[in-house]
């Protein structure tokens, strides 16, 4: 009998160390309220650490904005230590943007993105999609889905390990909306949709934004859920005096704070322990590594300052001093899951098969969560679908079904590119592109280039299958060019270049593209101005019908300042003046190719070798197709121009041209670079004599910065042909 009594006593003692009111029915219930504040909400993590150390059980968690994110994760079992590690390792600049990792984009998407500084939607559909926010929030939504694996189904939040609620505002009627159920990641995303920054969350007939507008410190919600006492962590900034309201951000923040001020004052009176964090010097956008570290620490300090009040509250709610709650659940994120079935809502059967193959997802196999995220990004970057979301629902066997929901993207955009350099001074590229509603995905694109060299392009394309394109294009370019021979100006000319092209391209492989087609070129030359003593060309008009094919492979992690990857391009064209021959003789042909690579010797120092070549075959090579080189990039002034460090001009070369180059690049800080370049060119009339005839050496030292407006570069260069030092500077993407 005494053993039975002892066993009962032990079970009772163990029961006293569990976490919630079911084991201590007489105690008061504790609600933890976490305010909104953007990045300042990182302080919640430090405060929760101290609350747990004090041995106070939490029965309800309620949050707004960043408070809803920290609170939601805490409610499903994340420890403060787990959240601390998680927020520190995130790339917040990437998460708080619509940016897609370059490695996940196909070749065509990369080329578009790396020409334009500004891209703005202008159609009715896309304007509706971004109403109330400039950022769609795809990246942050994907993170929430990853972090809440196992809670993707529609849930009653009262049944989470800790009952949870979060606050949003329905701007359709101006009323507060409290999430007590639904998909957890959706609720968190809606609660932090800052008006004017993030796109609202549309749910049923509601348009939901950041709850901080109406109730940024929702003590009343915790009370309604059943909390008897409230511990509140407050990361709101104090109202600013008139002298500090000097910019739009400060004014907008003040307006939001004022709108919720009445509720804040009421809720503050209902708070038993108010942990007010000193967030001076930080804003809602302070997501830098140092800021996150400091804010977590400030939350811990603020809670430590209230340690005595917390211990007193512990007594008031009926708990002994040595009481320590036992956590019901510690969330253990899964890196790999068994994927049973995959469903795509919004795709046809053919599109589903293509997406499955493109993303390399397979049913009835183990897949990493990282791979599922990558698949989501690939779909977003490579298809005509947007606003992609996914759910992973677990069955009784522990297997998961993956559900993708996709919305058709009928997007129209205006794109703007700007470039300044010491050759052309200023250039402007304007582009408008719209996706047409048709059985087959199709688009129309129009571009205008303004500057010393001006022109435009009009193109129409259809996509008979994903990532394949059949296009019809017309291009026009006006040029006023000085030509050099052996470093000396030989002559100058103006010309109008008209091009009509029908082409097919395929970018099915992420880093690979091939294409072929037929093209018509018309070069209409003005007067040739020759230097005294020089014999030049007298050309009026030249025209060609060309059959062409090209291959392009590229894996650079950065288009302008890569630290890894390779780049390869090759092309071949057969040129005629009547579809069959050229000047009553055989057609002439052009073969060209290039290879560039990056060998990183340290995390800051890299070696970049390169080789380029262009070879002309035939008896009658026209002036407009002759080999030229010079400038800092391919096609700097002319369609077939090869770059050459040492000269920024157009240097005429013979029929066979081969250029080898080496770059040594040192990264300084995070976005600054110092590059030493050396290259050597060989040229001859016939390829077999390329090692015997003309050669040319050039070098440059360049400072570069990877700025938000594109690369900024300033270089000193030298070539043995001119035997002089030149200076070149540019800012902006190349086009």
User: Is the pLDDT assigned to residue 18 strictly greater than 80?
Assistant: no
Q: In the numeric block, which tokens belong to residue 590?
A: 């052009």
C-alpha span between 73 and 68 (Å, rounded) = 8
- The gap between the terminal CA atoms of the chain, to the nearest Å, is 91
C-alpha span between 236 and 63 (Å, rounded) = 13
Reported confidence tier of residue 240, pLDDT bands at 50, 70, 90: low
Are β-strands 724-731 and 412-421 bridged in parallel, bridged antiparallel, or unpaired? Answer: antiparallel
Provide the mean pLDDT of the chain.
86
Is 129 within 8 Å of 121 (Cβ atoms)?
yes
Per residue in 175-210, pLDDT (tens digit) is 999 999 999 999 999 998 887 788 888 888 899 999
User: Measured in whole angstroms, how far is the alpha carbon of residue 319 from the centre of its chain?
Assistant: 50
Residue 216's nearest CA partner among 32, 34, 61, 48 is 34
Instruction: Tell the residue number behind the tokens 């082409």, with chain if given.
Output: 503
Q: In the numeric block, which tokens belong to residue 563?
A: 């630290």
User: Is the pLDDT assigned to residue 65 strictly greater than 50?
Assistant: yes
Is the pLDDT higher at 79 or at 620? 79
Per residue in 242-258, pLDDT (tens digit) is 766 666 656 656 666 66
Is 316 within 8 Å of 73 (Cβ atoms)?
no
pLDDT of residue 78: 95
C-alpha span between 697 and 682 (Å, rounded) = 9
Per residue in 296-343, pLDDT (tens digit) is 999 999 999 999 999 999 999 888 888 888 877 788 877 788 888 888
Give the SS3 label for residue 440. coil
DSSP at 241: P
Q: Where are the beta strands (DSSP E) in 48-152?
A: 60-64, 118-121
User: Is the pLDDT assigned to residue 555 strictly greater than 50?
Assistant: yes
pTM of the model as a whole:
0.73
Reported confidence tier of residue 347, pLDDT bands at 50, 70, 90: confident
Q: 272: Cβ–Cβ under 8 A, 6 or more apart, which residues?
A: 229, 230, 231, 313, 316
Tell me how far CA of residue 33 lies from CA of 49, 69, 77, 223, in angstroms: 15, 12, 17, 10
Structure-derived torsion over alpha carbons of residues 599, 600, 601, 606, reported in degrees to the nearest 10: 90
Residue 556's nearest CA partner among 342, 706, 358 is 706
C-alpha span between 210 and 133 (Å, rounded) = 11
Reported confidence tier of residue 25, pLDDT bands at 50, 70, 90: low
Residue 50's nearest CA partner among 303, 224, 279, 336 is 303
Residue 331's nearest CA partner among 73, 77, 19 is 77
Residue 719's nearest CA partner among 668, 644, 635, 613 is 644
The secondary structure of 46-69 as a DSSP string is: HHHHHHHHTT----EEEEETHHHH
């Amino acid at each position: 009998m005494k053993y039975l009594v002892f066993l009962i006593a032990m079970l009772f003692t163990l029961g006293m160390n569990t976490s919630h009111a079911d084991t201590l029915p007489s105690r008061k219930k504790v609600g933890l309220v976490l305010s909104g504040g953007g990045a300042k909400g990182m302080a919640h993590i430090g405060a929760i650490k101290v609350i747990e150390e004090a041995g106070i059980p939490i029965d309800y968690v309620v949050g707004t904005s960043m408070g809803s994110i920290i609170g939601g994760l805490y409610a499903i079992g994340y420890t403060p230590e787990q959240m601390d590690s998680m927020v520190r390792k995130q790339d917040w600049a990437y998460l708080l943007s619509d940016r897609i990792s370059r490695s996940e984009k196909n070749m065509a998407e990369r080329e578009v993105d790396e020409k334009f500084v500004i891209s703005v939607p202008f159609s009715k559909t896309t304007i509706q999609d971004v109403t109330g926010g400039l950022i769609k929030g795809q990246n942050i939504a994907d993170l929430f889905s990853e972090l809440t694996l196992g809670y993707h189904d529609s849930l009653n939040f009262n049944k989470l390990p800790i009952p949870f609620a979060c606050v949003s505002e329905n701007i359709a009627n101006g009323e507060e909306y409290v999430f007590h159920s639904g998909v957890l990641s959706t609720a968190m995303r809606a609660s932090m949709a800052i008006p004017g920054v993030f796109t609202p969350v549309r749910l049923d007939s509601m348009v939901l934004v950041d709850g901080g507008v109406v109730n940024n410190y929702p003590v009343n919600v915790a009370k309604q859920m059943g909390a008897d006492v409230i511990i509140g962590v407050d990361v709101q900034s104090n109202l600013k005096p008139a002298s500090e309201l000097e910019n739009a951000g400060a004014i907008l923040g003040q307006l939001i704070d004022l709108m919720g001020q009445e509720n804040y004052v009421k809720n503050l009176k209902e708070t038993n322990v108010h942990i007010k964090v000193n967030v001076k010097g930080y804003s809602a956008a302070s997501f830098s590594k140092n800021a996150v570290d400091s804010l977590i620490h400030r939350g811990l300090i603020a809670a430590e300052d209230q340690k005595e009040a917390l211990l007193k509250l512990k007594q008031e709610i009926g708990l002994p001093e040595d009481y320590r709650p036992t956590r019901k659940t510690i969330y253990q994120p899964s890196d790999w899951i068994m994927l049973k079935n995959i469903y795509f809502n919004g795709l046809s059967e053919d599109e589903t098969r293509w997406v499955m193959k493109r993303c390399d997802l397979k049913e009835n196999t183990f897949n990493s969560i990282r791979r599922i995220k990558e698949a989501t990004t690939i779909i977003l970057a490579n298809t005509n679908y947007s606003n992609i979301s996914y759910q992973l629902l677990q069955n009784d066997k522990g297997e998961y079904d993956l559900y993708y929901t996709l919305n058709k993207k009928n997007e129209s955009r205006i794109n703007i590119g700007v470039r300044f350099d010491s050759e052309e001074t200023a250039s402007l590229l304007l582009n408008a592109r719209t996706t047409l509603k048709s059985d087959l995905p199709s688009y129309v694109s129009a571009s205008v280039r303004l500057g010393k060299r001006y022109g435009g392009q009009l193109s129409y394309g259809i996509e008979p299958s994903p990532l394949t394109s059949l296009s019809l294009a017309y291009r026009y370019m006006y040029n006023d060019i000085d030509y050099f021979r052996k470093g000396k100006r030989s002559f100058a000319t103006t010309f109008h270049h008209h091009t009509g092209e029908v082409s097919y391209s395929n970018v099915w492989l992420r880093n690979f593209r091939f294409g072929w087609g037929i093209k018509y070129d018309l070069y209409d030359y003005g007067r040739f101005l020759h230097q005294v003593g020089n014999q030049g060309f007298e050309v009026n008009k030249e025209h060609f019908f060309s059959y062409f094919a090209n291959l392009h492979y590229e894996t650079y992690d950065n288009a302008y300042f890569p630290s890894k990857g390779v780049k390869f391009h090759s092309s071949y064209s057969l040129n005629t003046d009547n579809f069959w021959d050229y000047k009553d003789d055989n057609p002439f042909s052009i073969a060209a190719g290039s290879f560039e690579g990056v060998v990183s010797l340290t995390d800051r120092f890299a070696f970049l070798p390169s080789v380029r070549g262009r070879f002309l075959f035939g008896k009658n090579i026209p002036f407009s197709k002759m080999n030229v080189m010079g400038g800092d990039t391919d096609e700097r002034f002319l369609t077939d121009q090869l770059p050459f460090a040492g000269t920024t001009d157009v240097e005429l070369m013979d029929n066979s041209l081969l250029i080898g180059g080496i770059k040594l690049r040192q990264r300084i800080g995070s976005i600054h670079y110092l590059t030493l370049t050396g290259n050597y060119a060989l040229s001859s009339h016939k390829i077999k004599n390329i090692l015997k005839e003309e050669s040319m050496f050039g070098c440059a030292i360049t400072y570069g910065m990877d700025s938000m407006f594109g690369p900024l570069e300033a270089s000193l260069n030298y070539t043995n042909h001119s035997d002089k030092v030149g200076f070149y500077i540019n800012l902006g993407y190349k086009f």
